[in-house]
């Protein structure tokens, strides 16, 4: 059902007469003057190509998307541009869900004519491969709240969304050079659409046989006006399209409306460009912050990794130096201990001084010395180690002996040897005389005579 017809049914006769009488006095029911526009508010979404416009109580959202399609045969080097308006019952009870009424069809045609016929969008820049692949731009217009003058609000929303939309950069590759490669935004910045100018739609309402003309009619005024004219112009003064509905209007009134439309179009163009520039600046600032954060994290990670690697390398270097020192000490101690063992077996120390008795002490825990080998060598000479209790007394004696004999090797822990072993002397090699007992020690054999 047409929105105007629905609004007509809602208003009573007294309300209609009140609106007409107020217009004769150049007073509008919302307090504006006849040629005064409502405040325009433009907001952008998080994603590129999304804009919401609020014109008084009218709210419209424009969303731009793109996809690859095959071009038309008569225009192989040009992309496509289509408008899809959607009227939701949430905006106005007179709108039917899932069905495009007369108002939706008219709105889509007016915006499409203003953009397409004026060549506002450079469609040739949308070509990827001539005759094979082009970008198809789609503009979805969603009516959120019907407060009157939907065409102007939808036109501003479509332009704002087109100015902030960006297509990913594409290049040709492959073996035949015809393969399309789409570069992600992280690698290459997306490309904005090329708009030669901004066609702005301005709506005029006529009341009481074109004697009263107002601009930007609201919801209730649309139900009372006798005719309407929509002029699509740009800031340069070019007329892109004109849509006329209702009663006839004289040429003089049309020219006046066009002059007024050009002035209002210049003001609206400035507002749209200012809003888009603010959005682009904020977007660039967010990108810089995001890149700075990523770079800072990477530098911090590199520093931490460098510090960790440096600490590990230092530890490894110290460990290797320690291993070298240990190996040198062990090698030297093994050589020294080997010489000491040989001197013990010969009965002399490393300075070729003869022992009167067995060595009083040695360090079995010195590096490179095997305790079992030392015990075996001492046992071969008839020596035995003392018990733990006798070691204490042996330590005292050993300390006295150390003060008397400065040439002996002293160790406080293992300085004691069994007292019996300290009194024994090294016996030389036995002879045959020692094997034969003397006569006085021989036992007499008792001969038994049977």
- Chain centre distance of CA 77: 38
Find the range with the poorest average confidence among 178-182, 190-194, 324-328, 427-431.
427-431
What is the per-residue pLDDT across 238-270, written as a single tens digit (0 to 9) for each? 999 998 887 778 888 899 999 999 999 999 999
- Convert 81-111 to b/e letters by CB count within 10 Å (16 or more is b): bebebbbeeebbebbeeeeebebbebbbebb
Q: What is the DSSP string of 202-270?
A: EEEEEETTTTEEEES--HHHHTT-SEEEEEEE-TTS-EEEEEEEES---HHHHHHHHHHHHHHHHHHHH
The overall average pLDDT reported for the chain is 74
- Predicted pLDDT at 69: 92
Residue 376 lies inside a defined structural domain of this protein: no
Is 374 or 60 the better-scoring residue by pLDDT? 60
**What's the total number of domains in the chain?**
1
Query: Whose structure tokens read 């160790």?
Result: 411
Q: Are 135 and 82 in contact (CB under 8 A)?
A: no
- Predicted pLDDT at 89: 83
Residue 34 lies inside a defined structural domain of this protein: yes
CA distance 103 to 215: 19
Residue 231 bridge partners (DSSP):
202, 242
pLDDT-derived band at 96, boundaries 50, 70, 90:
confident
pLDDT-derived band at 290, boundaries 50, 70, 90:
low
Find the range with the poorest average confidence among 68-82, 99-113, 132-146, 393-407.
393-407
Residue 295 lies inside a defined structural domain of this protein: no
What is the per-residue pLDDT across 50-67, written as a single tens digit (0 to 9) for each? 999 999 999 999 999 999
**Given a cut of 90, is residue 180 above it in pLDDT?**
no
- Predicted pLDDT at 240: 92
What is the per-residue pLDDT across 18-50, written as a single tens digit (0 to 9) for each? 888 888 888 898 889 989 999 999 999 888 899
Residue 344 lies inside a defined structural domain of this protein: no
Most confident region among 10-14, 205-209, 213-217, 407-411 by mean pLDDT: 213-217
- Predicted pLDDT at 335: 52
pTM assigned to the model: 0.63
Residue 237 lies inside a defined structural domain of this protein: yes
Question: What is the pairing mode between strands 133-145 and 166-167?
Answer: unpaired
pLDDT-derived band at 93, boundaries 50, 70, 90:
confident
Find the range with the poorest average confidence among 38-47, 79-88, 93-102, 195-204.
93-102
- Predicted pLDDT at 65: 94
Range of the domain at 228: 12-289
- Chain centre distance of CA 221: 52
Residue 77 lies inside a defined structural domain of this protein: yes
Residue 366 lies inside a defined structural domain of this protein: no
Find the range with the poorest average confidence among 95-104, 112-121, 257-266, 347-356.
347-356
Output the six-digit token pair for 409: 């090797």
- Predicted pLDDT at 407: 39
The CATH number of residue 62's host domain is: 3.30.230.70
Most confident region among 11-20, 317-326, 380-389 by mean pLDDT: 11-20
Name, in order, each residue with C-beta under 8 angstroms of 87's C-beta and a sequence gap of 6 or more: 95, 96, 100, 101, 103, 104, 143
Q: Are 78 and 137 in contact (CB under 8 A)?
A: no
**Given a cut of 50, is residue 441 above it in pLDDT?**
yes
Residue 122 lies inside a defined structural domain of this protein: yes
**Given a cut of 60, is residue 379 above it in pLDDT?**
no
- Predicted pLDDT at 134: 92
Is residue 93 helix, strand or coil?
coil
**Given a cut of 50, is residue 218 above it in pLDDT?**
yes
CA distance 415 to 413: 6
Find the range with the poorest average confidence among 56-65, 328-337, 362-371, 403-412.
403-412
């Amino acid at each position: 059902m047409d929105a105007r017809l629905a609004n007509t049914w809602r208003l009573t006769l007294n309300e209609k007469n009140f609106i007409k009488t107020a217009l004769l006095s150049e007073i509008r029911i919302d307090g504006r003057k006849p040629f005064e526009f409502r405040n325009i508010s433009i907001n952008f979404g998080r994603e590129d190509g999304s804009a919401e416009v609020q014109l008084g109580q009218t709210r419209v959202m424009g969303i731009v998307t793109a996809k690859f399609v095959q071009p038309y045969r008569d225009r192989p080097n040009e992309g496509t541009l289509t408008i899809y308006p959607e009227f939701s019952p949430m905006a106005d009870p007179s709108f039917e869900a899932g069905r495009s009424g007369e108002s939706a069809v008219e709105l889509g045609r007016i915006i499409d004519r203003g953009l397409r016929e004026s060549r506002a969008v450079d469609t040739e820049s949308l070509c990827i491969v001539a005759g094979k692949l082009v970008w198809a731009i789609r503009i979805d217009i969603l009516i959120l709240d019907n407060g009157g003058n939907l065409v102007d609000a939808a036109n501003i929303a479509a332009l704002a969304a087109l100015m902030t939309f960006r297509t990913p950069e594409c290049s040709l590759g492959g073996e035949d050079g015809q393969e399309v490669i789409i570069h992600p935004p992280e690698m290459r910045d997306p490309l904005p659409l090329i708009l030669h100018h901004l066609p702005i739609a301005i709506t005029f309402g006529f009341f009481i046989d074109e004697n009263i003309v107002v601009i930007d009619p609201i919801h209730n005024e649309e139900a009372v006006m006798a005719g309407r004219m929509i002029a699509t112009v740009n800031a340069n003064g070019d007329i892109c399209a004109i849509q006329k509905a209702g009663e006839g209007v004289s040429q003089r009134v049309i020219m006046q409306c066009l002059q007024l439309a050009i002035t209002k179009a210049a003001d609206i163009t400035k507002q749209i460009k200012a809003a888009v520039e603010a959005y682009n600046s904020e977007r660039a600032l967010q990108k810089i912050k995001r890149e700075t954060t990523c770079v800072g994290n990477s530098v911090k990670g590199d520093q931490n990794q460098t510090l960790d690697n440096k600490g590990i390398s230092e530890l490894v270097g110290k460990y290797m130096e320690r291993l070298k020192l240990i190996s040198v000490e062990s090698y030297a101690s093994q050589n020294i201990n080997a010489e000491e063992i040989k001197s013990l077996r010969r009965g002399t120390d490393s300075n070729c001084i003869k022992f009167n008795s067995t060595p009083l002490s040695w360090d079995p825990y010195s590096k490179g010395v095997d305790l079992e080998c030392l015990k075996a060598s001492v046992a071969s000479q008839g020596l035995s180690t003392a018990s733990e209790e006798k070691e204490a007394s042996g330590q005292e004696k050993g300390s006295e002996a150390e003060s008397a004999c400065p040439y002996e090797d002293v160790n406080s822990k293992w300085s004691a040897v069994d007292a019996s072993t300290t009194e024994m002397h090294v016996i030389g090699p036995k002879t045959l005389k020692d094997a034969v007992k003397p006569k006085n020690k021989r036992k007499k054999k008792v001969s038994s005579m049977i």
